Every structure is written in C-alpha cells, then in structure tokens.
Amino acid sequence: MSTTPDDETREETREESSAAPSRATRVIEALPEGTYSIGAGLIVAGLTAYGFQILAARQLTSTEYAALNGLWVILFIVAPGFFQPIEQEVSRALAHRRAQGIGGGPLVKRAALLGFVLASAVAVVALLFSPRLVENVFHDEDLLIVALILGIFSFYLAHTTRGVLSGNGRFGAYGMMHAAEGALRITFCLVLFITGAGTPWLYGLALMLPPMGAVLVSLRGQKDLITPGPEAPYSELSNALAILLGASVLAQALSYGSFIAVNVLASDSEKDMAGKFITGLFLARIPILLFLAVQAALLPKLAAFASSGRHDEFRVGMRRLVLVVTGLGIVGVIGGATLGPWAGELLFGQDKFILDNRDLALLAAASGAFILALTLAQGLIALRSYGAAMFAWLAGIVGLVVVTAFSTDDLFLRVELGSLAGSMIAAAVMGLALLLRMRKHIPADALEDLVDNIGHEPLEI
C-alpha cells in the first residue's frame, strides 16, 4: 500500500517524539552527579545570607553593622581563599582513588592535617594583628576577634568535610550541608532579631557557628567515608596546591576589593559613609544568585559534550555560557541603574543605604565581570593552567589598585571604577589564556573537570 506525504510526516513526527525522551535522558545522565542537590543547597545558602545581612542591618547601629561586615569580609577572603582549594583537591583525589577501588582514609587524614596547620597559621596571624583589626576594622568590638578565630576553624572543618563528601559521591549530603548552614544561620539571626538581643558579637557567632552545625547535619547517616588505603603523599593532593591557594586568595581579595579600598581610603569624616558602602555591594551581587539559579540549566549540554569528547560543541557551549554570564551582568547593571536605590532602602532601611543609581550600576557591572572571570578561571584550573589563573587574578588586583589610586577624588566612584577595572582585566586575561589553551588538544577528563568545577564554584555574596 502506498503512503502519502502526510503519512510520512506523521511517521517522522512519531519517531522524533519517541526519540526525544532518550535524548533528554542522555543529557540528564551526562550531568555531573549531584548538580541539582548542590545547586539547591547553594541557592538556599545565598538567600539566607541576604536574610542575615538584612536582619543585622535593621537591628545594629551603623558602626556596629560596619564592624560586623569587617568580620564578614575578612572571613570570606580567608575561608574560601585558603580552604576552597583544599576542598577541591580532596574531592578530586578521593574520587580518583574511589574509581580505582582504593581507600581514601590516609588521604583524608593528610588533607585534614594540612588544613589544620593552615588554619592555625591564619589564626596566629589574626591574633598578631588583632589590635589593628579591632581598632580599624572591628570599630573597637573586641569580641569579634574571638568570632574570627572560631570562624577560621569552623570553615576549615566545613570545607574539608565538603571535599570528603564530594569525593565519595555523597552529593545529596553536600547540598544538604550548604542548605543546613544557611538555615541554621537565619534561624539564629531571627532569634536575635525577635528578642532584640542582637549585638555584633552575637551576630558574629551567627556567622561563624552554623558551618559546624551543618557538618553534623550532613554527616548524619553517612558511612564508609574514610576507608583504609595506601599512604598518601602530599603530592597526591596537588603539586600546584600553593599556586591554587594563592590564586584563590587573590580572587576573594578582588571580590571584596572595593569594600577594602573604601575603608582604607576613607577620611575620618567619611568613616560612617564607608561603613554603609557594604549594603550596596551586597545588593549589586544579586547576579550571583541568578547565576546559581540558572547554573543547572547551563551544565547539561556541557556535560554531554565533555563526556563524549565533542570538543567543537564544547567550545560552542562555553561561548554560550560566557554570553549567559555576560547577560546576567547586564541585567544586574540595568537593575542597579533603575531599581537599585529603591530596593536597597526597602531591604536595608533608609539610614543604612546611601548609594545611588550610578554606584549600584558600576558595582553590578564589577560583580558580573567577576563572575565571568571566576567561570573562566574554572576552565583554566580544569585544564591544569594554574599559573595562568593566578597571574590573571594578580593582574586584576593590580588593575584595581592603579585605577583606584589615580582615577578620581570621589571616594565611592574611585573604588567602584577600580573594582570594575580589576574584574574586567582578570576576565580578559582569563579569557585569552583559556582561548589559547583550548586551541590545543584537550583530554575528555579535563572537560569533565571543567563542568564539575563550574558546578562547585566558590561564589559568595
């Protein structure tokens, strides 16, 4: 019996329809394990971080709030800067051992000891500089030094535990850890806010203690995380760990460079203004939350291309990822230039929010450029180009310092321009280095590492 063109069209449609689920299934299966649970945990952590800031801003005085955020900035330079690379290397090395059927207990012990020594060294430096920190950063709130020391060890423990969970493939517990930390922190803050008992010291504890509680929550019911195995030399973690640590600290310093600069450069009459600058910086970082929200939608195709070694398609996917990140930055700039001041006053209160449309647009642009630089940095790290990533962050820091020093006398404008220039320079150097590297042969496992790195990006508001 002959068939008509309409019959053939209907048959093709049925074939495409039946094939579609299998293609979708393949893409989902190619997605790095745990992407959705980790992404959900990061979003909860990000939203609760904003809740922390809003409640603290509404209860504390301007000086107390400035002191608390001095603690916040130091912590989120030190903690992700020093301990995120250890987390990533523990995760990578443990996963490698697990794939070979080798127990990772000695590796975990080696990494934990290394992290403890590093945390102790940072704590000693903090104690040595405590008089200056208390006077210039903590506005004479002495107990914030205690909170800082607690925070250093708390986040050391948290990052090490995340590396162990991720390396063992316990991604549900990994995501739960992020979510639990945020939930515990916002609960602590709500109690302080409702009872009116909030002080910088107590809010400092609300910032520092939840990671420890989140570790306990995430480890509940977990077994066989640390199994016997052969001894692990330090080189198994990474021969480039020192470079990774340096690059990570430089990245976090650039991230908060505008806040550091505004406090260093502020005259005595501008100190109160400088303390309120941080609210605008947090508002301008909303694109980070947007990036976390869309991240899971961006990774499937990249993961599929990586797992099948389709390099050309992977390059196209990376270009699309860069375009999306750039688009988020543009959305942030438009939002800052239009609704920024209104949203800032609504969230933080009129007495704590003083930045205008221009300030927020520039800070949002700097935030978008930083996310782009960080995403490109994950590419260089996946391709083992550690030195190039560190050089790019260093170039960004130099750009921030130079532009801030010589651009204008307006305090806010000069640090905003410096932050934007630094982030753009870092992104440009990262992009050039990644482009040159991707023109060469890229192992499939390096592409898979890149997708996994993007899924675990150390983004903090």
Cα 323 from Cα 106, distance rounded (Å) = 42
Q: Quick one: pLDDT at residue 15?
A: 46
Average pLDDT rounded to a whole number, residues 237-261: 84
Cα 45 from Cα 39, distance rounded (Å) = 10
3-state secondary structure 209-247: CHHHHHHHHHHCCCCCCCCCCCCCCHHHHCCCHHHHHHH
DSSP string, 324-381: HHHHHHHHHHHHHHHTHHHHHHHHH-TTT----HHHHHHHHHHHHHHHHHHHHHHHHH
Residues 6+ apart with CB under 8 A from 94: 104, 107, 108, 163, 164, 166, 167, 168
Q: Quick one: pLDDT at residue 35?
A: 55
Q: How confident is the model at residue 239 (pLDDT cuts 50, 70, 90)?
A: low
| CA-closest candidate to residue 406, choices 253, 259, 261 | 261
Buried b (16+ CB within 10 A) or exposed e, 85-107: bbbbbbbbbbbebbeeebbbbbb
Q: Give the model confidence (pLDDT) of 397-420 as tens digits.
A: 999 999 998 887 888 999 999 999
Q: Quick one: pLDDT at residue 455?
A: 52
Q: Are 286 and 453 in contact (CB under 8 A)?
A: no
Q: How far apart are the first and last CA of the chain?
A: 67
Percentage of residues in the chain with pLDDT exceeding 90?
A: 26
Give yes or no for residue 292 having a pLDDT over 80.
no
* Residues in the chain, total: 461
Dihedral sign computed on CA atoms, order 291, 296, 301, 302:
positive
- 129-138, 165-174, 344-353: range with highest mean pLDDT: 129-138
Q: Which amino acid is at 291?
A: F
Q: How confident is the model at residue 40 (pLDDT cuts 50, 70, 90)?
A: confident
Cα 454 from Cα 396, distance rounded (Å) = 20
The backbone region for 355, taken as left when phi is positive above 0, alpha when psi lies in -120 to 50, beta otherwise, is beta
Residues 6+ apart with CB under 8 A from 428: none
Dihedral sign computed on CA atoms, order 179, 48, 138, 357:
positive
Q: How confident is the model at residue 23 (pLDDT cuts 50, 70, 90)?
A: very low
Q: Are 212 and 158 in contact (CB under 8 A)?
A: yes
Which residue ranges make up each domain of the chain? 33-239, 242-461
Q: Are 306 and 445 in contact (CB under 8 A)?
A: no
DSSP string, 39-106: HHHHHHHHHHHHHHHHHHHHHS-HHHHHHHHHHHHHHHHHIIIIIHHHHHHHHHHHHHHHHTT---HH
Q: Give the model confidence (pLDDT) of 324-341 as tens digits.
A: 778 888 888 898 888 888
Q: Which amino acid is at 322?
A: V
| CA-closest candidate to residue 454, choices 272, 320, 260 | 320
Q: Quick one: pLDDT at residue 421?
A: 96
pTM for this prediction: 0.79
How distant is the alpha carbon of residue 82 from its chain centre?
13
Q: Quick one: pLDDT at residue 27?
A: 41
**Lowest-confidence segment of 208-212, 374-378, 455-459 by average pLDDT:** 455-459
Q: Are 376 and 325 in contact (CB under 8 A)?
A: no
Q: Quick one: pLDDT at residue 37?
A: 66
Cα 147 from Cα 151, distance rounded (Å) = 6
| CA-closest candidate to residue 72, choices 248, 200, 262 | 200
